Amino acid sequence: VEAASDAVDVLVREFWPGGRSRLELAVKLERLLAVWLLNCFEHSKDPPGFSTYFLPSFMSHSCRPNSMWHHEGDSFVLRARDDIAQGAEV
């Protein structure tokens, strides 16, 4: 993550008005948000709910993954987010 979204920039302006560089804080918050999103699992649709599981978060993984999984019915589907070189860890 090299830049912050508009929403994260608003949060930084509201909650951290002084001190460190707002841009630096916004980028850090954007990275933390990405880590949370990539390590949580949807557990309910109505209302929307997400869980972060402590032990699986310690397994070998990347917080900037080259693939992502999702549900299709009763199946888990793994999709590449980018080209993956032969022999590279997925």
DSSP assignment of the chain: --S--HHHHHHHHHH--SSS-HHHHHHHHHHHHHHHHHTEEEEEETTEEEEE-TTGGGSS--SS-SEEEEEETTEEEEEESS---TT---
pLDDT in tens, the chain (90 residues): 677 788 887 777 777 777 567 777 888 888 877 777 777 776 677 887 777 766 666 666 676 778 877 777 777 788 888 898 998 888
What pLDDT, on a 0 to 100 scale, did the predictor assign at position 54? Answer: 64
User: In terms of DSSP bridges, do strands 48-52 and 75-80 run parallel, antiparallel, or are they unpaired?
Assistant: unpaired
Cis bond before residue 47 (omega within 30° of 0): yes
What pLDDT, on a 0 to 100 scale, did the predictor assign at position 38? Answer: 72
Look up residue 67 and give its two tokens.
């693939």
Rounded to whole angstroms, how far apart are CA atoms 9 and 3?
A: 10
What pLDDT, on a 0 to 100 scale, did the predictor assign at position 60? Answer: 64
Q: What global pTM score does this model have?
A: 0.45
What pLDDT, on a 0 to 100 scale, did the predictor assign at position 73? Answer: 79
